[in-house]
Amino acid sequence: MSKYLPAFLSSLLLFAAASPLACGPVKTAGNTVIDCVAADRTKIDALILDLATKTKPDGTHDWAAIESEAITAGLEVGGCALAEFVQSYLTPSQGVKAPSDGLAARQTLEHFRTSQAGGATFKTKSGAL
């Protein structure tokens, strides 16, 4: 047995363990982009209208119900609808006071993004978030 064989085998094992092919494709959090512009607009727009009806008696939105509905609709339709709904909700028109539950809206989207979408970015008609 060659005196270089153990060193070669050790190097080969280290390379294989560090190789991106060792455990499948490398996934970097936040690099995935879900294109809501090219997704099923009919389903997304219908879901956005439905999400807007999820309110509590005090007039604020029921963000737990909204997120649950988005999860049920799936990553692309539900995620895009949630992202676009939150995006429009947090950008009120000029002269309109910011919503009192804006922080809850943002937290809901971020929770969905981390728990369902692997940190993905949603590309909407109003920009990426």
Q: For residue range 50-109, what is the model confidence (pLDDT) as tens digits?
A: 999 999 998 889 999 999 999 999 999 999 999 999 999 888 777 777 788 999 999 999
The better pLDDT of the pair 48, 127 is held by 48
Q: 46 in a domain, yes or no?
A: yes
Q: How far apart are CA 13 and CA 117, in angstroms?
A: 33
The pLDDT of residue 3 is 57
Q: 84 in a domain, yes or no?
A: yes
The pLDDT of residue 8 is 43
The better pLDDT of the pair 42, 18 is held by 42
Helices 63-73, 75-90: axis angle to 10 degrees equals: 150
Q: Which is it for strands 33-35 and 127-128: parallel, antiparallel or unpaired?
A: unpaired
Q: How many domains does the chain have?
A: 1
Q: 22 in a domain, yes or no?
A: no
Q: 124 in a domain, yes or no?
A: yes
The pLDDT of residue 7 is 47
Are 52 and 85 spatial neighbours (Cβ–Cβ below 8 Å)?
yes
90: buried, middle or exposed (CB in 10 Å: 19+, 13-18, 0-12)?
middle
Q: How far apart are CA 5 and CA 2, in angstroms?
A: 5
Q: 100 in a domain, yes or no?
A: yes
Q: 61 in a domain, yes or no?
A: yes
Q: How far apart are CA 30 and CA 40, in angstroms?
A: 22
Query: What pTM was estimated for this model as a whole?
Result: 0.74
Q: 55 in a domain, yes or no?
A: yes
Q: 11 in a domain, yes or no?
A: no
The pLDDT of residue 30 is 46
Domain range spanning residue 78?
A: 29-128
